[in-house]
């Protein structure tokens, strides 16, 4: 069985130009926008008391994003906010006027030319962009990488998008979407990763995720001591780390970045100790489709290299373990339907607390009976057949 690999953050502090994206003031504005949607409601925070006691923790809390806007994943928060920011820019109107009622009204058609939003996705981001575009009367074109399941493609197609599975990995799909957007009149690239010259929209997407972080923060009775958060390109991880660094500047929780071993670009970058980004190439074969990204977002990386406590590379069995544990937790706890990319944090925490092979990591992070751990289950069963094969059939044990 492939082992978990980890590294504590020993990189020298670097410039931190993007931390201000996630200030309390900015996140409040983002959440005001999301509250204008009739579909908006805070997703549940599950307090797994029995699981915490069994694992030797003071508290274990899981933010269940399977309830987000009926889309079974959190990503719509970023895409919807970024689209609204783009519309505000092109119409010259203040963001405060970008309510759902205005954005879905005939008035928008008079102010804003019909636009096609291009994006690449492993599943959830593309679905979120497609949903937001349809809600606001716009078009979406979505490119997906080799190996994407048909069910994830159909989820996006049902939102009215033009969507294809390409014979390339995720990072090459990003380049394809960017090229097509540049060559298509009346289009905008709506991507959740950045590169030199393309930072603003990814920053808006990260801000969109602030709604989820603030909800979780407000739903907890006290500050979490530890936050485990997944990273594909790292936009979510950077948003969460940035939120808590701004929220608790004197005593932030320890943020642990969790990746799939096949695409552990953040872990490898941290291992280099220089703070420079290291990319992972190839097919990035992992069942954690949402984390199969080999190139870190430099905007979020600038936050993570300064504010993450550790970076962990997890084989697929860690996610499978987390999926089963959340689906069938301790008797008194609420079950959480968590997909492959959503449950890896649960599998990691459980393994760290019960397997002495990882006692050094457990001790280095100070995880014990006084710890209050926050996890983000970022998706539900977005690929239902695969979910059942893992949870019911024992695949990837």
Question: Which has the closest alpha carbon to 28: 227, 207, 244?
Answer: 207
Question: In the prediction, which pLDDT does 197 show?
Answer: 95
Question: In the prediction, which pLDDT does 241 show?
Answer: 98
Contact call for residues 327 and 335 (beta carbons, < 8 A) = yes
Among 75, 171, 192, 383, the one annotated catalytic: 75
Distance of alpha carbon 26 from alpha carbon 377, whole angstroms? 24
On the 0-12 / 13-18 / 19+ scale of CB atoms within 10 A, 219 is middle
Q: How many Å from the N-terminal Cα to the C-terminal Cα in the chain? A: 9
Question: Which has the closest alpha carbon to 258: 328, 192, 315, 337?
Answer: 315
Question: In the prediction, which pLDDT does 122 show?
Answer: 87
Question: In the prediction, which pLDDT does 395 show?
Answer: 86
Confidence at 249, pLDDT banded by 50, 70, 90: very high
Question: Which has the closest alpha carbon to 362: 62, 61, 55?
Answer: 55
Distance of alpha carbon 58 from alpha carbon 216, whole angstroms? 17
CB-CB neighbours of 32 under 10 Å = 14
Q: For the chain, what are the domain ranges?
A: 5-73+202-391, 76-196
Average pLDDT over residues 23-48: 97
Confidence at 352, pLDDT banded by 50, 70, 90: very high
**Which residues does 104 contact at the CB level (< 8 Å), separation at least 6?**
135, 136, 137
Interval 92-133: pLDDT, tens: 999 999 999 999 999 998 999 999 999 999 889 999 999 999
**DSSP string for residues in 94-116:** -GGG--HHHHTSHHHHHHS---E
Question: In the prediction, which pLDDT does 83 show?
Answer: 97
Question: In the prediction, which pLDDT does 232 show?
Answer: 96
Average pLDDT over residues 279-304: 95
Question: What's the Cα-to-Cα distance from 328 to each of 72, 265, 324, rounded to whole Å?
Answer: 19, 31, 6
Q: Which CATH architecture has domain 5-73+202-391?
A: 3-Layer(aba) Sandwich (3.40)
Q: What is the pTM of this model?
A: 0.96
Among 63, 64, 122, 192, the one annotated catalytic: 122
Q: Do domains 5-73+202-391 and 76-196 have the same CATH topology?
A: yes
Distance of alpha carbon 218 from alpha carbon 178, whole angstroms? 37
For this structure, is 75 an active site residue?
yes
For this structure, is 122 an active site residue?
yes
- Residue holding tokens 């990746």? 259
Interval 220-239: pLDDT, tens: 999 999 999 999 999 999 99
Task: Tell the CATH topology of 76-196.
Answer: Rossmann fold (3.40.50)
Q: Is 313 helix (H, G, I), strand (E, B) or coil?
A: strand
Residue 13 DSSP label: P
Has residue 397 got a pLDDT over 80? no
């Amino acid at each position: 069985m492939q082992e978990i690999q980890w590294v504590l953050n020993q990189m020298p502090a670097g410039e931190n130009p993007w931390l201000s994206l996630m200030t309390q003031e900015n996140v409040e504005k983002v959440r005001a926008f999301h509250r204008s949607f009739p579909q908006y409601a805070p997703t549940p925070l599950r307090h797994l008391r029995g699981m915490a006691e069994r694992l030797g923790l003071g508290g274990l809390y899981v933010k269940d994003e399977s309830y987000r806007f009926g889309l079974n994943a959190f990503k719509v928060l970023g895409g919807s906010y970024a689209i609204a920011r783009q519309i505000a820019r092109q119409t010259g109107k203040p963001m405060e006027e970008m309510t759902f009622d205005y954005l879905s009204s005939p008035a928008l058609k008079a102010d804003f030319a019909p636009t096609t939003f291009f994006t690449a996705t492993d599943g959830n981001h593309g679905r979120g962009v497609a949903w937001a575009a349809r809600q606001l009367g716009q078009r979406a074109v979505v490119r997906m990488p080799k190996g994407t399941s048909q069910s994830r493609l159909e989820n996006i197609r049902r939102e009215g998008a033009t969507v294809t599975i390409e014979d390339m990995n995720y990072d090459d799909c990003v380049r394809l979407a960017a090229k097509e957007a540049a060559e298509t009149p009346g289009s905008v690239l709506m991507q959740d990763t950045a590169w030199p010259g393309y930072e603003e929209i990814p920053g808006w997407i990260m801000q969109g995720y602030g709604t989820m972080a603030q909800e979780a923060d407000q739903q907890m009775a006290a500050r979490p001591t530890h936050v485990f958060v997944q990273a594909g390109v790292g936009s979510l991880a950077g948003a969460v780390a940035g939120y808590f660094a701004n929220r608790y500047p004197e005593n932030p929780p320890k943020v642990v970045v969790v990746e799939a071993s096949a695409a552990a670009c953040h872990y490898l970058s941290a291992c280099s100790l220089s703070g420079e980004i290291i990319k992972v190439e190839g097919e990035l074969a992992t069942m954690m489709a949402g984390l199969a990204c080999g190139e870190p977002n430099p905007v979020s990386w600038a936050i993570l290299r300064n504010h993450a406590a550790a970076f962990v590379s997890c084989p697929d069995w860690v996610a499978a373990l987390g999926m089963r544990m959340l689906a069938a937790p301790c008797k008194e706890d609420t079950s959480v339907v968590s997909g492959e990319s959503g449950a890896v944090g649960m599998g990691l925490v459980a393994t760290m607390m019960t397997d002495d092979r990882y006692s050094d990591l457990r001790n280095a992070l100070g995880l014990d009976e006084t710890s209050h751990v926050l996890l983000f289950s970022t998706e539900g069963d977005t690929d239902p057949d695969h979910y059942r094969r893992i949870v019911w059939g024992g695949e990837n044990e």
